[in-house]
């Protein structure tokens, strides 16, 4: 239990809750560092295979930067707060995480909050969720990966339509645009996120890491032939030499559920 976040472990599932509902789960440097520490733990623990991140309360996933804190700090010291090396929410700059992360977006996901969700692999949204990169409206820009990720995850003209206006997008429109994986009734959000996590946990964690790593790394390789060379993907090679790659076919032949080792 942290001061600004909560973490729980359910078997191989790691649950992270941003816990500043009084400010719509907006983040300041201390909260960012706490989340970075939580995801460091997730990355390092071989028994944690999937993570879900959500926000406390019924109103917000995260409203992004705590602008009040920033303004007060600047007034007192003239300085700017620094984000941890792993970026906003401990995820925005975490480019080496091969384990899957699900965002369960329970309300507004604005600015940095939307950037946290975009840094996740799957976004499950409550039908009350709202998304935006409104930074230009307050003289800023979405510097935690939002500009780069949104323009890669949906058609460019649709992404520019969001970013150049800072407009709010509903969960349903986010689904239609393609950055939301699924939309559910608000009361069903965490159950749905857990259902997706459970489906991932039915698969070999070695295969999941190999898949995520290959997808993420191949995005930067324009030539298909080069992108398909497995030597570029250590997680694929680790999977190919793992116990899981023996257990999977064996369990299939024996008509039973596989006992994944994750190694």
Query: What are the strands, taking DSSP E only, across 90-223?
Result: 101-105, 108-110, 122-126, 130-132, 169-170, 182-184
Q: What is the widest separation between alpha-carbon atoms in the chain?
A: 68
Gap between the Cα atoms of 253 and 143, Å rounded? 50
Residue among 100, 121, 122 at smallest CA distance from 184: 122
Numbered ranges of CATH 3.90.226.10 in the chain: 5-200
Q: Which CATH architecture has domain 5-200?
A: Alpha-Beta Complex (3.90)
d(CA 86, CA 37): 9
Which one of the listed residues 8, 34, 47, 115 is annotated catalytic? 115
* Nearest to 38, CA basis, from 69, 66, 16: 16
Q: pTM here?
A: 0.95
pLDDT per residue rounded down to tens, the chain (263 residues): 789 999 999 999 999 999 999 999 999 999 999 999 999 999 999 999 999 999 999 999 999 998 787 777 666 766 666 767 899 999 999 999 999 999 999 999 999 999 999 999 999 999 999 999 999 998 999 999 999 999 999 999 999 999 999 999 999 999 999 999 999 999 999 999 999 999 999 999 999 999 999 999 998 888 888 888 877 899 999 999 999 999 999 999 999 999 999 98
Please pick, among 10, 34, 47, 135, the residue that the annotation labels catalytic. Answer: 135
Is 135 annotated in the active site?
yes
254 among known catalytic residues:
no
């Amino acid at each position: 239990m942290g001061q600004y976040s909560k973490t729980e472990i359910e078997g191989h599932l790691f649950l992270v809750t941003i816990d500043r509902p009084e400010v719509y789960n907006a983040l300041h440097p201390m909260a960012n560092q706490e989340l970075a520490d939580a995801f460091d733990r997730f990355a390092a623990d071989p028994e944690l295979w999937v993570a879900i991140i959500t926000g406390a309360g019924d109103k917000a996933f995260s409203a992004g930067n705590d602008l009040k804190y920033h303004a007060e700090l600047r007034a007192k010291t003239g300085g700017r707060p620094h984000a941890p090396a792993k970026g906003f929410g401990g995820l925005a700059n975490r480019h080496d995480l091969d384990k899957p992360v699900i965002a369960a977006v329970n309300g507004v996901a604005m600015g940095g909050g939307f950037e946290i969700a975009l840094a996740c692999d799957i976004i499950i949204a409550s039908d009350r969720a709202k998304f935006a990169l409104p930074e230009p409206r307050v003289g800023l820009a979405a510097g935690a990966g939002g500009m780069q990720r949104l323009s890669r995850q949906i058609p460019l003209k649709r992404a520019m339509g969001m970013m150049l206006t800072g407009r709010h997008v509903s969960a349903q429109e986010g689904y239609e645009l393609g950055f939301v994986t699924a939309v559910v009734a608000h009361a069903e959000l965490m159950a749905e996120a857990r259902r997706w996590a459970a489906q991932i946990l039915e698969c070999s964690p070695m295969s999941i890491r190999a898949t995520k790593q290959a997808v993420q790394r191949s995005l930067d390789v324009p030539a298909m032939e080069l992108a398909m060379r497995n030597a570029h993907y250590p997680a694929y090679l680790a999977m190919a030499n793992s116990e899981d790659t023996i257990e999977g076919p064996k369990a299939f032949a024996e008509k039973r559920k596989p006992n994944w080792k994750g190694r």
